[in-house]
Amino acid sequence: MRFPGLAKSPSWLGSAGAISATTLTLLSACDGTLPNLRGGSEGGTASGFELQFWVGSALGEFCTQAAQQFNAQKPKLATGEAFYLSCREQGSGDLVEAIVAQGQQFQAGILPVDDPQLPSLISVDGDVYYNQLIYRLGQVFPGQTLVPPITDAPLLAHSPMVFMTPAPLAPGLAKTPDLYKALVTAQTHQDLDPASPPQPIYFVHTAPNRSNSGLQTLIAQFASVSGKAPETLTLADVTAAQGQVKQIQGKITRYGISTRSLATAMVDNGPFWASVGSVYESAVIEANSGLAPGQTRYTAVYPAATYTSSMRGIGLQAPWVSATEQAAADQVLAFFQEPSVQAIATNLGLRPGVPGVPLGPKFGPEFGVNPQATYDSYRPPTPEVAEAMIQAWEQEAKKPSQVVVVVDSSGSMEGNKLPAVQSTLQNYIAALGPQDRIALIDFDNLIREPVLADSTPEGQSQGLGFISNLQADGETYLYDAVLTARNWLQQNRRPDAINAVLVLTDGQDSGSSLTLEALQGELQKSGFSSDERIAFFTIGYGEEGAFDAAALEQIANLNEGYYRKGDPATITQLMQDLQLEF
């Protein structure tokens, strides 16, 4: 199909998601990240319509490099119509939700058959979310088959789920027959293996409601403590096992939406931040590829049974998919399966989707992996059971969190800045789960008392009252406000929870009694080298240069968090992603 003019951007893409109406959309997912366009028109030299391929962090660089080669061939359909390929990133859970929402809009007549928002080819990052997609679309289109069987979707690449750990701790993990079952009770690495040091176990994995690797990890935990294969698990098994899964989750340092970023954070922050991570094998290779001199090498420990994380191309058999879309999608998928293109994947640490393609040079002990690793490959549970696991995690098993949200309400927040923040905070508070508590502090040249909010009706009301009372006025006592938040969290710390401070400011400090150096000295006392383990996350809001990005980055990095830049157009998505860390 060709579409004259410009397409209206889908609401779930946000302002960054506007695309040409001549776009044919291909969607893929892996880890949740903000959609990011890469590859594409090669500096404007490509011609024809744009073909978007949405991939997650595991496939992002593979897609980008493959797209460059594909576009260099100046691809055309059999009709002679030219097109070019670009790549985007989106999370598996988010992607399934988006496709289902689009299907519902199509069924309701809101989206016409030729609307470019409707995808023609998709690829979720594993067979678990593949099954979820079939199930969810089957509810929207009962009696119709919009998604082909898994066996009909070509495999583009795969990467098994492994335990990432510092090389000195790997032998102890490798000796443990069933690590998840052991993590129910083990508190230190010496509990797993007497020859290992008495170091506390700190665990990380991504959020299962947004990330494929997180969902696969959660399913593996339920399977382990139940003593059953995932495909045989029942709803009753989920209920019976959630208490033991909660004990495993109690060792979490933090969650997140990106497997790659968690693996990188493990290397940057060291084993007293996280000593074990459930990640893709490719993430271990990538983390070891960028080691600085003196940094510890990490090792992939392969469970006896794990998920393969199959990344497949899925052609939708939907009423809105045209012959033109099918032809373009088929051409791209055929190209991605060529041996020379598969070699791009293996050079990046992904295992090939096509038999006979040799592994790349990074598959070896130097990069922490075993090219000959063997394991039993898990199959997905039923979609109903997978959804029950996610719900059990959100409502019961997830590690609790206590976060102090520090909001700059100084005079520079006037205009459209403050309303955008108020709307974002309203969404943030509404999304709080039963395990989450937040304390809201707003500041200018005054630092006001914390307002507590949670998921209860009373907590929601208090949070909305805080939002309504925000007014832009005064100066920016940033450093004093940050220390006030830390001090409150020290006094009200929850030992069983993720304790963190989230700072949102649009300006530079003006008038604090503390200097940045004095603040840093104070924050070090409550970092991950202490028992308090209070993380800091910072957002510079508004125009670049209006806030002190370097200071915000120093505050975050000092206590193993991170800094991000936001503006009225991106702040909602940014805060949604940050909320998944906790």
Q: How far apart are CA 382 and CA 6, in angstroms?
A: 40
Secondary structure of residue 571 in the 3-state scheme: helix
Higher pLDDT, 166 or 560: 166
pLDDT of 109: 94
What is the pTM assigned to this prediction?
Answer: 0.88
Of 2 and 462, the one with more pLDDT: 462
49-153+311-337 and 159-307+373-395, same CATH topology: yes
The mean pLDDT of 310-317, rounded to a whole number, is 90
Alpha-carbon distance of 97 to 218, in angstroms, equals: 19
Domains of the chain, by residue range, sit at: 49-153+311-337, 159-307+373-395, 400-581
What are 409-448's pLDDT values in tens digits? Answer: 999 888 888 888 898 899 999 999 998 999 999 999 999 9
Check pLDDT > 90 for residue 311. yes
Quick: pLDDT tens for 317-370: 999 988 888 898 899 999 999 999 999 999 999 999 999 999 989 999 999 999
What pLDDT score does 575 carry?
84
Share of the chain above pLDDT 90, in %: 63
Q: What is the pLDDT of residue 93?
A: 82
Share of the chain above pLDDT 70, in %: 92
Q: What was the pLDDT predicted at 38?
A: 58
- Report which of residues 492 and 119 the model is more confident about: 492
Residue in 111, 119, 148 with CA at minimum distance from that of residue 131: 148
Dig out the tokens for 128 from the structure: 């678990």
Is domain 159-307+373-395 given the CATH code 1.10.10.10 in the classification? no
- Token readout for 519 is 């603040």
> 3-class SS at 176?
coil
Per-residue pLDDT reduced to its tens digit, 211-261? 899 999 999 999 999 999 999 999 999 999 999 999 999 999 999 888 888
Q: 400-581 belongs to which CATH class?
A: alpha beta
Number of neighbouring beta carbons within 10 Å of residue 97: 16
The answer, yes or no, to whether residue 576 has pLDDT greater than 70, is yes
What's the mean per-residue pLDDT of the chain? 87
The reported pLDDT for the residue numbered 315 is: 85
Helix axes 383-392, 235-249, angle to 10 degrees: 40
Q: Which amino acid is at 273?
A: W
Compute the average pLDDT of residues 522-551.
Answer: 86
Torsion of CA 556, 561, 562, 564, to 10 degrees: -90
User: What is the arrangement of strands in the sheet containing 310-312, beginning at the earlier edge strand?
Assistant: 310-312, 155-158, 351-352
| pLDDT (0 to 100) of residue 13 | 29
Q: What does the pLDDT average to over 497-513?
A: 90
* Diameter of the chain measured on Cα atoms: 71
Task: List C-alpha distances in Å: 241 to 229, 238, 368, 511.
Answer: 13, 5, 32, 53
Tokens of 461: 């009301």
541: three-class secondary structure by DSSP: strand
- Specify the CATH number for 49-153+311-337; select among 3.40.190.10, 3.40.50.1370, 2.60.40.1180, 3.40.50.300: 3.40.190.10
Residue 40 has a pLDDT of: 53
Q: What is the pLDDT of residue 224?
A: 97
Q: Which of 41-45, 338-342, 428-432, 460-464 has the lowest mean pLDDT?
A: 41-45
- Residue 356: the pLDDT is 93
Specify the pLDDT at position 16. Answer: 31
